[in-house]
Structure formats: structure tokens, C-alpha cells
Amino acid sequence: MQSRKRVWIACASLLLASGLIASLAHAAEPDMSLLEAAAMLTAQAEPPAPKEPPAPATEPAPATEPAPATEPAPTAEPSYTKRGADTCLKCHDESSKFPVLSIFKTKHAQTADPHTPFAKLQCESCHGPGAQHAEEVPEGQKQAPIVKFGAGSWVPIAKQNQICLGCHQDQARIAWKSSPHGGNDVACASCHRIHAEHDAVLATAAQPEVCYTCHKTQRAEFDKPSVHPVRFAQMQCSSCHEVHGSMSASLLIKPTLNETCYSCHAEKRGPVLWEHAPVAENCANCHTPHGSVNPTLLVKRPPLLCQQCHSQAGHPSVARTGAGLPSGNPSGFLLGGSCLNCHSQVHGSNDPSGVKLMR
């Protein structure tokens, strides 16, 4: 009897549990199966797992300032353009700030001569690799630098001149580095115009104006009444001076001043039977080379010039009055020519009786 009760109790419990599961499934979701509902019921019956404490909030990392922009690293090796001068002429035509078309009328652009720049790398023979310089850059930015010639260039004067001397260091320019021009950092391009059809410094009429850019005192001297004919385009500065360097004083073309003067004044060279000592010693004892207010480029007028060396005994000490003359009467010849009225052969005489340089 008791066993039957136990069976009925178990069946009743089973039926009750089935009804509870079915009602739960229908309430949660109409399509939920009995197995899913039983699992949900089991999960609700289990105690909830203890929650882990939340991790402490970490402070946000401070914002870092952007690194300053650095200049782009230069290329390891500058490169040359593929088309040479054709690339340059795309920008440097006659309408540009630096026109260069006139160089094709000069010796530098003769491709038939193997010694010229255009027989080698053309423009880049002198200006260096230009591929980076020829690249287009955004508006407002500058082109990559290239070798520029002249006093205002970023390229050191010594480096500019070395490029020129790479071809032009011959016997006439071997003393350039020890010359006053080379020692004072005068650039070749300060005097020469390489791209011009006619270089002014090579023309007799135009050369003095180039030299006067620095030598302003000499410009004033050549405007005096008695001068060498430089301003008349019959001479130029390089007629007497070796501007690229010389072993003599004042960059003279000859070893001494007298030898330089004899290049034109050969009749004064001698030898003569009766010499005048100052003439053989130095022409500048009596003459100034660039210009003078006195006749024949004299440093002083006679008799003051002559009396720097010669005694006044027996001669008039004051030429412009009669007080210094033995007769007391001034002579018109004396007033006009002074000592040269009698001693006309001041540069020397070959006459047997010319000991006094009077004939």
C-alpha cells in the first residue's frame, strides 16, 4: 500500500513539474521547447556567480605634441639631366629672368671643339648636376639650388673660380691665386660675362668701364688733361696690366715698370751715349702713368721737377721772375719751357757733345 503511494507521489511530482515547465516556456517564448525551458529553470535555481570587482580606471595617456617637421634629406648623389641644355632652355629662354640663348654665339657653345663645355655636359659642365633643379616644385617653393656664378652667389668665390680654372689655368693665369684679385676673392664672373655674345672686358673701348667698377681713383685720373689714350679707346687697362696675376708690382705685364713703358716707347729704351740717370732708374720718377694736370704726364712742372735732383747754382731758382736770373730779365723761352728750353734731350743723348743733354 505504501509503495503504491510513493509511485503516485512521484507521478504527481513529475506531472506538476512538467506543467510548470510548459507554462514557463509559453510565457517566455511560445516556440521554446521543454528541454530549453528546463535548462532555463535550472539556471535560475543556481546561485549567481560572484562578480569580479571592476578594474580601476586608468588615466588617459597625455597627448604628445607632433614632432617638428624636418627638412627632407638630400639625395645621396645629384644627378644630371637627360637632355642637357634642352632641359635648361625650357625655362631659360629670352623671356626669362636669366636668358641664356646668347651663349650659342660664344666659343663656350661650340660642340665641334672638344675643349668647350658644350662638347661635354653642356650647361652642367659649369653649373653642375641639374636634374633636381629642373624638377617642378609647388607654387611658393624654390627650385633646388644649382651652381651660380657672381659676387652674390651662395657658392664660395674660390669654388666658382676653380670651375673656370679647370679649363683656363694656362701660363697667363698660373699666378691667379697669388694675385691681388685672387687674394681679395674677386670672382671671374664679376668681370666676365660668359653668356654674352661680346664680353665687355675683352673689348678695348668697353674694358675700362669694367675696371672702373672697383678702381674709381683711376677713373678720375684718366679724366685729367694729360693722359694715356684710354678714354679714346686707343689703349686698355690690360695694355699695361696683367689682371690675372703677375710677378711684378702693380700687376704689370713686364718684370719692371720701365720694360712695360718700353713696350710702346721703344725710342726711350737706349742704350745711349749720355744717359739721364732717372730715366734708366724708373720712369715714374718724373711721370705718372694714368693722368696728370701737368704736360706729358709729369708729376710736377719744371723747374720744380728738375730741382728735386739738380742744384740751383748758376740757374734761376725762381723761374717766373727776373730775380733769379743773372741778367735780371726773364726770358719768354724760360717762362714757357723752363729747363727743357736748353736741355731738350732729357731721356739721353747720342751726340758726342751731348753731355749736358742739350743736343
For residue 298, what is the DSSP state? B
Residue 228, SS3?
coil
Instruction: Count H helices and E strands in the chain, helices first.
Output: 13, 2
Residue 69 CB partners (closer than 8 Å, separation 6+)? none
For the CA atoms of 174, 175, 180, 181, the dihedral, rounded to the nearest 10 degrees, stands at 0
Backbone angles phi, psi at 85, to 5 degrees: -60, -30
The chain-wide mean pLDDT, for the chain, equals 80
Q: Specify the pLDDT at position 334.
A: 60
Please, which residues bridge with residue 274 across strands?
349
For residue 327, what is the DSSP state? S
Reported as half-sphere exposure (CB side, CA atoms, 13 A), residue 146 has a value of: 19
Does the pLDDT value for residue 338 go beyond 90? no
* Pairwise CA distance, residues 222 & 232, whole Å: 10
Which tens digits make up the pLDDT trace of 53-99? 554 544 544 444 444 444 444 554 788 998 989 999 988 888 888 88
Radius of gyration of the chain (CA): 52
Q: Specify the pLDDT at position 108.
A: 93
Which tens digits make up the pLDDT trace of 286-299? 999 999 999 999 99
pTM of the model: 0.69
Residue corresponding to grid cell 719751357 = 337
Does the pLDDT value for residue 323 go beyond 80? no
Tell me the Ramachandran region of residue 214: left when phi exceeds 0, alpha when psi lies from -120 to 50, beta otherwise.
alpha
Q: Specify the pLDDT at position 318.
A: 52
126 within 8 A of 163, measured Cβ to Cβ: yes
